[in-house]
Amino acid sequence: MERTALNVLTNWLTSVGRKPLVIRGARQVGKTWLVRHFAKTVGKTLVELNFEKQPSYASFFSSNDPQQILLNLTAVTNEKISSEHSLLFLDEIQAVPQLLSKLRWFSEDLPQLPVIVAGSLLEFVLAEHSFSMPVGRISYMHLEPLSFEEFLLANDKKSLFDYLKAYDLTLKIPLAIHEQLIMLFKAYLLVGGLPSAVANWIFNHSPDRVSQVQYDLLATYRDDFAKYKARMAGERLEEVMIATPKMLGQKFVFSRVNASHPSITMKQVLTFLEKARICYRVQGCAANGVPLAAEIKEKYFKEIFLDTGLCCAMLGLNLSQINAATEITLINQGGIAEQVVGQLFRTVEPSYIEPTLYCWHREEQGASAEIDYIVSHGSQVIPVEVKAGSTGSLKSLHLFMGLKKFNIAIRINSDFPSKMAIKTKDNLGNCVEYTLVSLPFYLVGEIHRLLG
């Protein structure tokens, strides 16, 4: 299946001053497949080492001389490794994390050889390493599950993909195209963006078989819990993982996970799952300006899961339930809608930027409010509300816009796209004026282009 990350890799390969590339992402998002497919696409001979399968391969890197390392690899692979024709791929690097320090010498002494590194659970290594990281001598790429646009390509819907890429807000979307895109988006909700689930859906179009793949994926993540046992009880990890889909769209409250354990313990568990990229934090912020991270509110945050398909599996949702819902925001009381929008927001930034998610919350007597997501567009702060239909209440949005005096806001729903001038009063009695851009769920991936 086609991944937009292939374009990123192509640009990296041909870039001036290229450095070894470290691909970061959760287990099962397709890192290994991507590198293998990329090597075939560009006609490179792939020299692949998997350190989880063969940790002894680390002994090939005892020297700091890249030429000596290549000589060692040539001896075991019986293939000549050429800087011009080969691609060195170090997979599952978390099994021997100290080898990351060797990337410095490839960057300095053999930059003409393309080197890609990948691994699951890399965030633990990067947060707690005891070796010298090659700062400034490596590049990063963040890989997420398939976006909706990639899901369209995987399902042989390139004409719809091209339509979304060419769409602008002055055009009226025909009803037949809108209905087809909404139907495909509902399938994306159920299947999700993990490559093995998408591939199964393409070949079988069976929700039951996709569900089996998703439960196998969840079992894979649970098997990883054994790697944490030295630091964290597997039972606590399981509890937090199960609780996350149940609290979608709500403030994450540790006592709702397990009231019998101290919050500090559950906080540590959640941090572990975030490092494993099974859960992602939607951090509360003041939303006064960019960067949004400059004014975060530590005590208020929400969580989303790695993938909407896995969420549906854990919540017991099936395709008939999803198709029967007149609005996506009615599924699971809107939690799945916030999940999928947050998941797609993680795919819209350049891949070299670590994706981050923000929200806004205000607790005041008679004037409490919450904005589902806050995004930055250039120097602008853009509030994003996920709503049902075209008539859902926008009281929180009106209050936010009245307080912040921003010019533009986004509403995500199942309706046709639109752009309108809002002139109203918030619940404090203040006059509020701003432009509201409504986008259907299937256009979330185009948000920055359409705002531009």
Domain of residue 17, CATH code: 3.40.50.300
Mean pLDDT throughout 332-359? Answer: 94
| ∠ CA 280-367-430, rounded to 5° | 115
Instruction: Give the CA count within 13 Å in the CB-facing half-sphere of 34.
Output: 30
- 131 and 160 both lie in a single domain: no
pLDDT for 393 equals 75
Placement of tokens 């606590």 in the chain:
236
Q: Which among 188-192, 262-266, 422-426 has the top mean pLDDT?
A: 188-192
Residue 392 has pLDDT above 60, yes or no: no
Domain final residue, candidates 94, 124, 142: 142
- 365 and 238 both lie in a single domain: yes
- CB–CB of 191/441 below 8 Å? no
- 198 and 309 both lie in a single domain: yes
Residues near 439 by Cβ (< 8 Å), separated by ≥ 6?
A: 410, 411, 412, 413, 417, 446, 447, 450
pLDDT for 126 equals 74
Q: What stretches of 129-174 show up as alpha helix (H) in DSSP?
A: 148-154, 158-166
- 253 and 288 both lie in a single domain: yes
Mean pLDDT throughout 179-199? Answer: 97
pLDDT for 199 equals 97
Residue 79 has pLDDT above 90, yes or no: no
- CB–CB of 439/345 below 8 Å? no
The strand pairing partners of 281, in sequence order, are 303
Residue 170 has pLDDT above 90, yes or no: yes
Mean pLDDT throughout 355-382? Answer: 93
Mean pLDDT throughout 434-442? Answer: 97
- 215 and 94 both lie in a single domain: no
pLDDT for 230 equals 54
What is d(CA 99, CA 41) in angstroms, rounded to the nearest whole number? Answer: 27
Mean pLDDT throughout 207-214? Answer: 95
Mean pLDDT throughout 270-289? Answer: 94
CA trace torsion 259, 261, 267, 268 (10° rounding):
-160
- 316 and 383 both lie in a single domain: yes
Computed on alpha carbons and rounded to an integer, the radius of gyration of the chain in Å comes to 23
* 152, burial (CB in 10 Å: exposed 0-12, middle 13-18, buried 19+): buried
Sheet with strand 373-377: strands edge to edge: 373-377, 380-386, 408-413, 431-440, 418-425
Domain final residue, candidates 82, 107, 142: 142
What is d(CA 182, CA 318) in angstroms, rounded to the nearest whole number? Answer: 16
Tell me the pLDDT band of 225, cut-offs 50, 70 and 90.
Answer: confident
More confident residue, 134 or 397: 397
- 171 and 320 both lie in a single domain: yes
pLDDT for 58 equals 94
- 94 and 201 both lie in a single domain: no
Domain final residue, candidates 99, 120, 142: 142
pLDDT for 129 equals 65
Residues near 138 by Cβ (< 8 Å), separated by ≥ 6?
A: 19, 20, 21, 22, 100, 103, 107, 117
pLDDT for 250 equals 95
Backbone angles phi, psi at 117, to 5 degrees: -120, 140
pLDDT for 300 equals 96
What is d(CA 388, CA 341) in angstroms, rounded to the nearest whole number? Answer: 13
pLDDT in tens, 5-44: 999 999 999 999 999 999 999 999 999 999 999 999 999 9
For residue 221, the SS3 value is: helix
The strand pairing partners of 373, in sequence order, are 384
The strand pairing partners of 89, in sequence order, are 48, 116
For 127, the domain range is 5-142
- 129 and 207 both lie in a single domain: no
- 217 and 343 both lie in a single domain: yes
- CB–CB of 356/283 below 8 Å? yes
- 9 and 92 both lie in a single domain: yes
What is d(CA 190, CA 186) in angstroms, rounded to the nearest whole number? Answer: 7
- 160 and 126 both lie in a single domain: no
- CB–CB of 444/451 below 8 Å? no
Specify the pTM: 0.93
- CB–CB of 284/360 below 8 Å? yes
Q: What stretches of 286-435 show up as alpha helix (H) in DSSP?
A: 308-315, 319-324, 335-345, 395-404
pLDDT for 19 equals 96
Give me the number of domains the chain comprises. Answer: 2
How high does pLDDT run on average in the chain? 92
- Structure tokens given for 349: 């930034």
**Closest alpha carbon to 143 in 37, 247, 28:** 28
Placement of tokens 């009281």 in the chain:
395
pLDDT for 228 equals 60
